[in-house]
Amino acid sequence: MTPDELVRPCPDDCERMRQDLIARDLPPVWSLDAAVARRLHREGVDATQAAWQPSLASMPVTVEDLPAADGRVAMRRYLPSGPPRPDAAPSRVTLIWFHGGGWVLGDLETGHAAALSACAATGWEVVSVDYRCAPVDRFPTAVHDAISATTWLLDLDRRVVVGGDSAGGNLAGAVAFACGDHPGLVGQVLVYPAADPSMSRASIGEFTTGPWLTDRDMGWFYDQYLPDDAARTDPRVDLLAAAAESGTSPVDAVVLTVGHDPLRDEGIALAEALRARGGRVTALHAPELFHGVLTSAGLLPSGQARVDELWATARQMFM
């Protein structure tokens, strides 16, 4: 891609959000204790979800908490409850969703808008997973939780798509490599995924100041998540290494990357690597948007348009 194709100025609605965040002068994630970072993150997400348009409560989706499959990892199920989409036959697809937050922040509540919106947009059942987070539970705990939850769903004879945003996209990608030979795993949806823990790609150095994700924030997340430097080369973390080494069957993918994101270049590289392995890959790139837009889309018409494109593409590929 040319430089202009990689990143463009934010549209007006995103720029207003950016200026508002700058004016609030919140402390950067990397400067905080993990518990404080989790609290502030939850407060921000709660405010965003309360202002979501149309209201999250108005979406035709039934929500229920599931008992933990293994006694440890809670899950939440979303089922379409409105009239069936006129453009889609009844679906047996289940999207298993892993929230973002750098493997440190987030839970079922902060992932609620993304999971609910995905259910409403696709007509699929969605299962959101409350995987255990660092620094209390470091790598590979979250990967084990993600694989365990996905295996539980696959054993129910569903057609499963794994998906997630940011760190959740990393977990979804790791699951796809681990479970790629299972015939029930039909696809993956990776939204600005973390894919290269070496943090050596050009876009990492382009975003050194906030208010959105920065290089220093990303370094802090890896420090919280990984027990040692050796884990950075583990293919369950380094998805680009996994793409080069994995012996499992390729899993078809939709990959969304955004311009204003230190993870931009590694996400683009991952889409290319998955395609090189022989999978069908649809790579969507939004040069005008920012890391985190998925969980803010209800406040941003420009972001919502791209999210609608994401789910329409996934429906077309994986129905």
Active site residues: 166, 261, 291
Residues in the chain, total:
319
Residue 9 is given by DSSP the state: P
Name the token pair of 301: 């018409």
Q: Scan for tokens 């002068």, then name that residue.
A: 25
Q: How far is it, in rounded angstroms, from Cα 218 to Cα 212?
A: 11
At residue 158, what is the residue type? R
- Which H or E element spans position 106? none
Q: How far apart are CA 200 and CA 224, in angstroms?
A: 19
Half-sphere exposure in the Cβ direction for 288 (13 Å, CA): 14
Cα distance between residue 187 and residue 281, in whole Å? 10
CA atoms within 13 A on the CB side of 186: 18
What H or E segment, with its residue span, contains residue 286? Answer: strand 281-290
What is the pairing mode between strands 253-260 and 281-290? parallel
Instruction: Report residue 187: phi and psi, to 5°.
Output: -175, 170
The CA distances from residue 223 to 13, 48, 99, 200, in Å, are 33, 28, 19, 16
Cα torsion 140, 145, 150, 155: sign: positive
